[in-house]
Chain A
Amino acid sequence: MLKVDINSVSVTRDEKKKTILQNINFEIEKRKVYSVLGKNGSGKSTLIKSLTALLPNNQYEIIGKVFYDGTDLLSASEEELREIRKNNIRYVFQDAANSLDPLKKIKHYFKLLNTDFSSIEKQLQFFLLPAYNKISDLYPYEISGGMSQRLLLVLALLANPDLLILDEPTSGVDYAITNLILIKMKEFVQENNKSVLVVTQDIDFAINSSDYISYLSNCTLKKFLSPDDFMKSKSDEELKKFIQSFNEISNATS
């Protein structure tokens, strides 16, 4: 469905050029959930933003191709990209509250979608959000950070995209909501023939939600493996340490 073939992503700051990503090659198939793990600052968010050319092109240079449905997104026009980002590839970013305009009521975002009222109610209810007539009249700053994150997920799902890209969906979210997101993701890919790509540092979430997991370090992306194989991987020292730390925290007995 999506074929990524990126040679390099580099950024120029203070007249110095720095490579952030190198040799990123992978394919995303339908009905599958993919997770990319990596430490803070490893370039996970840059990776997903590169896919639909979301990085400001006066600073960032991307060399390579990303094919979606026969179109190379990296050479597509801004109009084409806007349509694709609206209908086909949707993002939910980490800083959810900042994705909403504080001057517009929440109903504004629902009006942008071509969707029927009952699907809206269904999704709001699933994510334990207030009913439409209650939430639609509020401004974004009148709901909590956790609620706006769930609201953005609802909006992304209602657009019914082929690929849903989630940036740290579980950071600052308690376990009950993490469970909800996990259940919804599985339902979304299986029942609607869609795909999900997650970047996260939450190993637990990745193992429980994904069909394939990869690790981003030293500018490159490791091969996508099944969760079981991933947890056994010994190829990379940094990755080995990352998994060890996870096991250490998980198995503590105080």
Chain B
Amino acid sequence: MPLLKVQNIFYSVEVKGARKEHAGILLNVSFEVEQGEILGICGESGGGKSTLAKVIAGIIKPNSGEIIFNSINDYTKEKDRLVQILFQNHGEILNPFRKVQSIIDEVLKINGVDKKNIEMERNKILNSVGFEKELYDRRGYQLSGGEQQRAALARLLAVNPSLLILDEPFSAQDVESQIKLIRLFKQLNKEFNLTMICISHDLRILKNLSERIIILKDGEIVESGKTTEVFNKPKEAYTKFLLSAEALNLTYEELQTSSKI
């Protein structure tokens, strides 16, 4: 039984202005996520990646289709907490008035962790994301971007989620930080048997992180399969296009005939 079953999701939205053509839409999206795997979702800007993440987490309601999580086909309070998203603007989830440790402690308390175990649990979680002890009593704005991201990640892990969705966690990071993050996600995946969905437009990162991948184009899944197979033997023209775009050797003519515009 898969952990998550996404079935025939349709979603569209009307937006005024030029964004309309780029607004997130989903057309008949179906896939499954197994317990303990890391699934990659790849595609260009405006392909519907973030919209899909929000639909899975129950933040937005699809026009039609079903999300079956742990065999439960309903949005309940409990389920909301089982799915956590690390957003691109991760720093904003840290309350600027509170120290990192008190933010984590509060989440643990709400989740019913016994009072005398809170400190131990908090240290364990912050340690697992590589957040240094000296920074425990800093506030969000006193941390660098990378440290903020780790604190935000710890805040999500404190809920003890069954599924963690990562929305472009690597953008605006230099390559060394990217490698550190890839190692961290792999380690969390192993240590807690934590299922993850990683959204990225960067094929290279997904090659490093996910065993399975889904390619989204204009809200539709065009190709999916094992990451190595999809990248080494792409079947669809769009996947081939993404791969040569990544190599930065497309001509203007090739770009024009692509789906973009």
Contacts and interface: CB of A to CB of B under 8 A. Distances in A.
Given A128-B261, A180-B255, A39 B18 contact: no
B18 to A, nearest CB: 5
Contacts of A249: 175, 178-179, 182, 204-205, 208
Contacts of A242: 174-176
A142 B23 CA distance: 12
A139 B17 CA distance: 9
Given A142-B18, A147-B18, A178-B248, A172 B172 contact: yes
B227 interface: yes
Contacts of A180: 252, 255
B255 A179 contact: yes
A171 B19 contact: no
Interface size on B, as a range, is 35 or more
Interface stretch (A54-62, A67-75, A85-93, A201-209): A201-209
Interface string B244-260: 01101111100100101
Contacts of B209: 254
Contact of A176 (B179, B227, B249, B260): B260
A40 interface: yes
Contacts of B146: 40
A1 B249 CA distance: 29
A183 interface: yes
A76 interface: no
B242 A143 contact: no
A138 B22 CA distance: 15
A67 to B, nearest CB: 31
Contact of B18 (A40, A134, A203): A134
A39 B261 CA distance: 33
B170 to A, nearest CB: 10
B207 interface: yes
Contacts of A203: 175
Interface size on A, as a range, is 35 or more
A128 B171 contact: no
A205 B248 contact: yes
A83 interface: no
A142 B16 contact: yes
A171 B144 contact: no
Nearest to A179: B250
Pick the most buried of B144, B176, B182: most chain A CB atoms within 10 A of its CB: B176
24 contacts: A39-B174, A39-B177, A41-B144, A138-B18, A143-B17, A144-B18, A144-B19, A144-B45, A147-B22, A171-B171, A175-B242, A175-B248, A176-B241, A176-B250, A177-B260, A203-B175, A208-B248, A208-B249, A242-B176, A245-B175, A248-B179, A249-B178, A252-B204, A253-B207
Interface of A: 39-41, 126, 128, 130, 134-135, 138-139, 142-144, 146-147, 168, 171-180, 182-183, 201, 203-205, 208, 241-242, 245-246, 248-250, 252-254
Interface of B: 16-19, 22, 44-46, 144-146, 171-179, 182, 201, 204-205, 207-211, 227-228, 241-242, 245-246, 248-252, 255, 258, 260-261
Given A174-B201, A176-B258, 7 more contacts: A40-B177, A130-B18, A176-B44, A208-B248, A250-B204, A253-B207, A254-B227
